[in-house]
Amino acid sequence: MSKLKSYNKKELADLYKVSVKTLSSWLKPIKPEIGEYIGRSFSIKQIQIIFNHLGEPDNENR
């Protein structure tokens, strides 16, 4: 796994090549584990949880 960084919803959706709406629907079932989206981006800890559940996006997009 490469070094993690924080991403906002748009950046994360772009990594997975989906819309923000689709990403939000994917994240809804794991929201209790992720926690609230506070501020302008997901924390590195939240990104790690998301990657664990959804799998890492293609490395070519990072």
According to DSSP, residue 56 is labeled P
Output the pLDDT for position 58.
Answer: 81
Q: pLDDT-based confidence at 2, cuts 50/70/90? A: low
Output the pLDDT for position 3.
Answer: 73
| CA 44 to chain centroid | 9
Output the pLDDT for position 27.
Answer: 97
Q: Are 15 and 61 in contact (CB under 8 A)?
A: yes
Q: What is the pTM of this model?
A: 0.85
Q: Are 7 and 57 in contact (CB under 8 A)?
A: no
In this predicted model, what pLDDT tens digit does every residue of 6-52 receive, in sequence order? 999 999 999 999 999 999 999 999 999 999 888 899 999 999 999 99
Q: For the chain, how long is the longest CA-to-CA vector?
A: 30
